Chain A
Amino acid sequence: MSHKNSESESTRDAREFWDLRLYIAGETPKSNAALANLRGLCETHLSGKYRIEVIDLRQNPELAMADQIIAIPTLVRKLPMPIRKIIGDLSNTDRALVGLQIERRIH
């Protein structure tokens, strides 16, 4: 099942807008944990300037090849450029922030 979450899109800014895509494979504890962790992280650090798109590869398996996905869950930062890719359920917030290069921008 694919469900798009468009949360807090009001303050869209070309430079400071975060377009994130989370790849999961069915509703597993790992993917649920990843989505919950991602939401919390975005609300804390990117409030009002992010969008999360969840792609379930069980529904759209062709996207695994097209988007070069190996591990599940994988989070792709499509914006801001350049594209970044992090894997795992985002339970390690520090590493997630480093991977998404969020911390520096905030401080």
Chain B
Amino acid sequence: MTSTEEALSLANGLPATTETRELPRCPTGVYGLDDITGGGLPLGRPTLVCGGAGCGKTLLALEFIVRGATEYGEPGVFISFEELQSDLVDNVRSLGFDLGRLTAEGTLRIDHVRVERSEIEETGEYDLDGLFIRIGHAIDAVGAKRLVLDTVESLFSGFSDERVLRSELRRLFQWLKERGVTAVITGERGEGGLTRQGLQEYVSDCVILLDHRIEQQRSTRRMRIVKYRGALHGTNEYPFLIDRDGIRVIPVTSLRLDHKVSRERVPSGIAHLDEMLGGGGYYRGSSVLVSGSAGSGKTSIAAHFLEAACRRGERCLLFLFEESPDQMVRNMESIGIGLRPHIESGTLVVHAARPTLTGLEAHLAVMQRMAREVSPAAVVIDPITNLTVVGTRLETNLMVTRLIDTLKSSGITTFFTSLTGSPDAPEATDIGISSLMDTWLLLRDIELGGERNRGMYVLKSRGMAHSNQIREFVLSDRGVQLAPVYLGPEGVLTGSMRLAQEAREQAAAAARRWEEERSRRELARKRAAIEAQLAVLRAELESHDEDLRKLDDQSTAEDVDAEDRRTRMARSRKQRS
């Protein structure tokens, strides 16, 4: 029997020279899987996909076939040992896989191999040529490049002669390699090994392990490449999920830093904030984080940004994890930001969901899918921190990383709000994601003088000369206003203390003006008094002059009189004598 020779050659290991070269890849088309396998499954070789019941093996295998037929022009054969063809067709219809159409087009062939122990009495020597012929015929019928055997281990329940089965399986996989089809073999996870029947002994090129567990009442699916011969592959566990588009593997750790950056600015919607950011606003395609404690005005800043973008006619996508769209629109209307017309016109697309509704990966998938469908200029997530209730801090960070990565590579500006817990150290809680952010605005409550006011500053903004000042942040019926704060010896003064300080300054100024006026009036009065004195003196002088003139006149007159009298006297004397 040739199988012993094969067993020996496998046990000894194949020559190393053939192992070191990179195997050509067959792209699966399964979202994310090709990223973590470096391009796909080994071309023309069998790959083992194993995992427990309900882990998604069959779906992964089926998607591999469907994507091949629909996206890569590679017809496929699906050999099902468990499910009937009609069941398979029904099960994946909800995922948008129309197996009936593909079968009719001749790009897919499904064969249900029924293994019934009760029907099979073994009467002597046999082999599995019947199965070989079936598979071979199916491959030839559609010209298949891809093949799935799901789950070939079922044969072990139908045939009692394990020795024959094992040698036949080894022969089967060897034969598949010779036929050059890229095959996915699924296997049920066994107690002490990857598969119940040790299939990994036969399929040695690539082994993928799927896992489905419940953590904190949430279903989490994970995938790990256990083995990929002659290739570097991600060794981490990658979360994956099954949504309406099929399987989505989230290669969370593959953050790329090769996206193009834009020098174009997008206004923040708040004129003063644009000034603080060196004029112009955020960079297009950058990521912006606004963090602050509850009620500090994060959503308002986001709404300003959205409204400004919508008004320029740029499509925006808003994810709400806290409020309903109606509630948010109403609240923003109260500060004079009208989002409703933009929602109605379709410029603004709002998606609201409870964070606990689904797992983290599902949220990410929804966001990525919507971003693909809407192709927005900006995406706002309010607040990103609510997602931490679904996953751990690490998971959320990885998810945000992945999301930013996707959106940035499409040149989409991302805007996140983040709720910080402790007002004492608001920066600390955001450290995980803040390093991913290009611009970080921090809203701080400033409690002073028996009231709480909002202060805002730009903690960082990469690539722009931004203000280092704290501005007071006032929510008015005309939206967010940024007021310069009073910086005095006792620190930042805000709110009514700022107003009081301003009033004091105004009073002082008024007093100064009044004092000046008073001095001016006093001087004028003094001048008037002096002038009055001058007038009196002048009048006195005039009267003196007058007196003098009178005196002169009088003396002259007296002289005349005296002369006159003398004359008259002389005249009278002459008359008497």
Interface residues of A (CB under 8 A from B): 23, 25, 30, 33-34, 37, 57-58, 61-62, 64-65, 68-75, 84-92, 95-96, 98-99
Contacts and interface: CB of A to CB of B under 8 A. Distances in A.
B148 to A, nearest CB: 16
Contact of A91 (B121, B125, B137): B125
Interface in B88-122: 111, 113-115, 119-122
B128 A72 contact: yes
A86 B120 contact: yes
17 contacts: A30-B126, A37-B124, A57-B129, A61-B133, A61-B137, A64-B134, A65-B134, A65-B138, A69-B133, A71-B131, A84-B121, A85-B121, A86-B120, A87-B121, A87-B123, A88-B121, A89-B126
A96 B115 contact: no
Contact of B130 (A74, A75, A90, A91): A74
Nearest to B115: A70
B123 A91 contact: yes
Given A71-B128, A72-B128, 13 more contacts: A30-B126, A62-B137, A64-B134, A64-B137, A69-B133, A70-B128, A71-B127, A71-B159, A85-B120, A86-B121, A87-B123, A88-B125, A95-B121
A34 B124 CA distance: 9
A89 B125 contact: yes
Nearest to A84: B119
B158 interface: yes
Nearest to A24: B129
The A interface is mostly helix, strand or loop, or mixed, namely mixed
Taking residues whose C-beta sits less than 8 angstroms from the other chain, chain B's interface range is 20 to 34
B127 to A, nearest CB: 6
A85 B117 CA distance: 10
Given A65-B134, A70-B155, A91 B113 contact: no
B52 interface: no
B108 to A, nearest CB: 14
A75 B130 CA distance: 12
Smallest CB-CB A-B distances: 4 pairs: A99-B121, A88-B124, A91-B124, A61-B137
A90 B126 CA distance: 9
A90 B123 contact: yes
A95 B122 CA distance: 7
A68 B113 contact: yes
Given A70-B115, A71-B130, A74-B130, A92 B124 contact: yes
A70 B111 contact: no
B136 to A, nearest CB: 7
Contacts of A37: 124
B307 to A, nearest CB: 63
A75 B131 CA distance: 15
A34 to B, nearest CB: 8
A25 B123 contact: no
Nearest to A89: B124
Contacts of A90: 123-124
Given A61-B134, A86-B121, A68 B114 contact: yes
B130 A70 contact: yes
B120 A23 contact: no
Contacts of A25: 129-130, 132-133
B129 A87 contact: no
Contacts of A91: 123-125
A14 B155 CA distance: 35
B446 to A, nearest CB: 77
Contacts of B138: 65
A72 B126 contact: yes
A72 B122 contact: no
B133 A58 contact: yes
Nearest to B121: A99
A57 B131 CA distance: 10
A85 B119 contact: yes
Contact of B127 (A72, A75, A85, A86): A72
A30 B125 contact: yes
A45 to B, nearest CB: 14
B130 A23 contact: yes
